[in-house]
Structure 1
C-alpha cells in the first residue's frame, strides 16, 4: 500500500509524464494506495494491533502523518471517542456533522436534511481533502476544550507537528509535480482533487455503512449518565458487518467489513476477524443479542442510502 501510494507520486515528481490522462491515472493509483494506508496500515498500527512490537506499531502509525494527518489527533477521535461512545450524539465524532447533514435521530432536524440522501455522497468525496487541510486544527481546538490536551505545551506541540506534516504532504504530492510536470498546473490540481475525491468517497462509505444503518441503534444516556447496555452489547447494537465472504475486498479495506469484531476486539489484528466472527455470531445468537450483517458491500450501501433518507425525512424513532 505504501508503494502503491508513493511510486505514482515519484513518477509524477520526476516530470516524465506528458499526457493529461496519465497524470489523472497516476493520481488515481496513488489514491488507491492512500485508501489502503488509511484502512489497512495506519488503522491497525494506531490501534496497537498491527504488530506485537510497539515500535513497529508506532512507526507504521506515522503513515497517517505522511498522508497529511495527525496520528495523535486521530487516536483521540477514533480510538477514544468513536470506539468508546459509538453512535452517541455529541460524543462520537464520526456522527458529529455540519448542520446540513444528519447522521443520528438525536440530532436536530432541519428542512435541508430532506435531500441529504442525494447530496451526502458529494460531501463524502471531500473527507480526506478537508482532513489534510483543516480538520486536524478544528479537532485540536475541540479536544483542548474537553480536556484531552491539558497543557499549552501539548497544544503547541500538536499544532507544530500538524503544520509541519501538512507542509511536507502538500509539497511532495502537489507542489513538486506542478513544478516538474510539463502540463498545465490546473490539470495537476484537478488530478490531485480527483484523487482525494475518490479516496474520501471510498473511506467515508466504508466507515459509515458500519454504523449509520437501519439496524443501528443510537442510544442516549439516562439522567444519571448511564447507558442502557454495557459496553460490549452497545458495540453490537450500534455496528454492522458486510461482505463477510469477500476475501479480496476484506484484504483491501483492512478487514473493516468485520466492524463488529473490530469494535469488540480493537487490539486484535484484522487478519483474525473472519475466524473470530464465527465465535461472536454464535455467542450473540446464544444470548439473544443482535448481530447485524449484510451479504455484500452494495447491500450495505443501499441500506445506508435508505437510512440517510429516513434521517432526512425524520422518520427514524429516537
Structure 2
C-alpha cells in the first residue's frame, strides 16, 4: 500500500535505476561504488558481454502501440454498449490494460526504454499521469528509495508503517483499529488491494506539494486532465449511477491486479538489520528478492517483475532481457553459495501471506488465550 514519502528537494533526483547506476553497482540513485573487486563485478561483465543492458526501443515501441490500440478498442466498446450494465464486463480488460500501462511507466522510470531522460520522463508522464492518474514523480521517488535499500526497515518506504506493517516491532506499536488491522492483515491483504487503485491517485495528489513548482504544474495538469477525461467518458456513455459503479469496479480490479504483480517480490524475504548488516550490492538485492518461476502467462501477467532478482541487480535492463539474464545470475549466485529464491506464483503468495500472518501473531495471542 502507498506510504507517505519524504521530500527529496535537497538531493539530486535520478530515474528509478539507470544503466549508469547499475554500472556503479548501486542499484539506483545511490553512492558510486568500486565494483572492481566485488562479487557483483564478474556478473556485471558477463551481462554486458552478452549485450543484455542494451536497450530494446523497437520492442517497447511495439508494446506501447499495441497497448494503446487495445485501450482504444475497449473504450470504443464502452461507447458502443452505451448505458447498460453490460459495460461492467469491460471493467476487467480495462483494468488489465491499465496494469500494462503501469508496467510501461515503471520501465520508463528505470530508463529501460531510452537513455534520454527527457524522453523517459515524457513516456512516464503520459502513461502514469495522463492515462492512469498516478503521479510518476511520486512513484519514482518512492521506487528509487526502495531499489537502493530493499526491505530495509528505515530506508525502504515499501516496508514502512502504513495500512500494513512488516515486523513484529512495528506491530507492537499499533493501537485501536490499526491494531485490529495488523492482527488480521494476512486475511485482509487481497481485499485491501481493491482500494489500491484509488489510493495510488490520492498519494499522487498528496505528493504534488513536494515537487518543484514547474514540475508540480505539469504533473497536476495531467492528473486533473486524466480525471476530467475519465469522468467525461463515463458520464457521456452511461448514467451517473452506472458510471460510479463502473469506476469503482474498474479501480478495484486495477488495484488488485497491480498489487498481485508486486506482492510476490519482497514480502517474507530477508530484512537487513538496520544497525548491523552492511551488505554489498549483490547481497542486498538478491537476498531481499524473490523470483516467480517463469511461464508465458506468468511473465505476461506480472509484467516481467517475476524476474525480480535480475531486475533489482540490473534495474535499467530492458524487460525482455531479464529472462536471458536469469541463468547467468543463478549460476553466479550458486558459485558464491548465495541463496537464490524462486518459487511458483501461488507459493509466492502463500509465503508473503505467511510472513504477514507471523508479524501479527503477538497481537493475536491475548485474544486467542482468552477464548
Q: TM-score, normalised by structure 2?
A: 0.72
Q: Is the CA contact (8 Å cut-off) linking 2:96 and 2:254 kept in structure 1?
A: yes
Q: Tell me which of 258, 265, 276 is aligned to 2:307.
A: 258
Counterpart pick for 1:162 among 209, 219, 224: 219
Of 284, 304, 312, the residue aligned with 2:333 is: 284
Contact residue 151 and residue 266 of structure 2 kept, 8 A? yes
CA distance in 1, matches of 2:141, 2:293: 28
* Counterpart residue number, 2:129: 65
- Structure 2 runs not aligned, ≥5 long: 1-66, 364-371
Cα RMSD for the two superposed structures? 2.2
Residues 47-58 of structure 1: matches in 2 within 5 Å?
47-52=110-115, 54=117, 56-58=119-121
Shift of 1:53: 5.3
What corresponds to 1:122 in structure 2?
191
Separation (CA, whole Å) in 2 of partners of 1:160 and 1:96: 29
Structure 1 residue 167, shift from structure 2 partner: 1.6
Aligned: 1:138 with 2:201: no
Corresponding residue to 1:200 among 252, 255, 277: 255
Cα deviation, residue 189, structure 1: 1.1
Query: What is the aligned length?
Result: 289
Secondary structure of the corresponding residue to residue 157 of structure 2: coil
Mark the CA change 1:105 to 1:237 in structure 2 (over 3 Å): closer, same or farther: farther
Structure-2 residue corresponding to 1:32: 96
Note the alpha carbon deviations across 1:14-51, whole angstroms, 9 max, x for none. Answer: 46523212x11223211111011112x11111110123
The aligned counterpart of 1:219 is 272
1: CA distance, partners of 2:147 / 2:72:
30
Question: Secondary structure of the equivalent of 2:342?
Answer: strand
Rounded to whole Å, the distance in 1 between the matches of 2:120 and 2:76 is 25
Deviation at 1:173, TM superposition (A): 1.8
TM-score under structure 1 normalisation? 0.83
Give the direction of change, closer, same or farther, for the CA distance of 1:140–1:313 in structure 2 (3 Å limit): farther
In the alignment, structure 1 segments of 5+ residues that lack a partner are none
Q: Is the 8 A contact 2:138 2:203 kept in 1?
A: no
- Greater alpha carbon shift after TM alignment, 89-98 vs 119-128: 89-98
Q: Describe the superposition over 1:255-308 as per-residue Cα deviations: whole angstroms up to 9, x where unpaired.
A: 1000000000001101111121111111111111111110x2111112112111
Q: Deviations over 1:98-132 (max 9, x none)?
A: 2x521234524334211111112222121121111
Distance in 1 (alpha carbons) for counterparts of 2:71 and 2:170: 37
**Match status 1:7 vs 2:73:** yes
- Provide closer, same or farther for how the CA distance between residues 46 and 281 of structure 1 changes in structure 2, counting only shifts above 3 A: same
CA distance in 2, matches of 1:140, 1:171: 18
